[in-house]
């Protein structure tokens, strides 16, 4: 299976998020929190649409939760679980990845 480097994780600031577009029109986003990276499919479980209105902004005002800009659903950064809003109890789709010794993030 082919792998593709998505980003240099050293360039993603703490409490920030970044959106990506992969071949085949798959949209993902990454969040860095407490030095750890979380990677999800950019698709709200409520309507299956993208989460952000402003490019690369996937977090709420306090950077504590992932937030959908359409109806305000909020998700735990570490698990993707929806804890508030119309898709409560559902979760974002997590994407498997690894980070090499140079800090490059790869998905499989």
Using CB under 6 A as the binding rule, whether residue 80 contacts ligand FES is answered as: no
Which of 27, 57, 70, 90 contacts ligand FES by CB under 6 A?
A: 70
Is residue 92 close enough to count as binding ligand FES by CB under 6 A? no
**What phi-psi label fits residue 92: left (phi over 0), alpha (psi between -120 and 50 degrees) or beta?**
beta
Q: Quote the least distance from Cβ 59 to ligand FES, whole Å.
A: 14
Region 8-67 residues binding ligand FES, contact defined as CB under 6 A: 44, 46-47, 49
| Binding-site size, ligand FES (CB under 6 A) | 11
User: Which range, of 16-24, 26-34, 84-92, 94-102, touches ligand FES by CB under 6 A?
Assistant: 84-92
CA distance 102 to 6: 13
Of the residues 4, 71, 94, 98, which one makes contact with ligand FES according to CB under 6 A: 71
Which residues sit at the interface with ligand FES, rule CB under 6 A? 44, 46-47, 49, 68, 70-71, 73, 85-87
């Amino acid at each position: 299976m082919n792998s593709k480097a998505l980003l240099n994780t050293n360039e993603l600031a703490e409490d920030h998020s970044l959106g990506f577009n992969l071949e085949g029109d798959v949209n993902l986003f990454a969040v860095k929190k407490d030095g750890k990276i979380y990677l999800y499919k950019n698709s709200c479980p409520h309507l299956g649409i993208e989460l952000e209105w402003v490019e690369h902004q996937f977090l709420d005002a306090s950077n504590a939760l992932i937030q959908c800009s359409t109806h305000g659903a909020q998700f735990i950064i570490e698990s993707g679980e929806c804890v508030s809003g119309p898709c409560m109890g559902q979760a974002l789709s997590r994407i498997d990845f690894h980070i090499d010794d140079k800090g490059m993030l790869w998905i499989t």
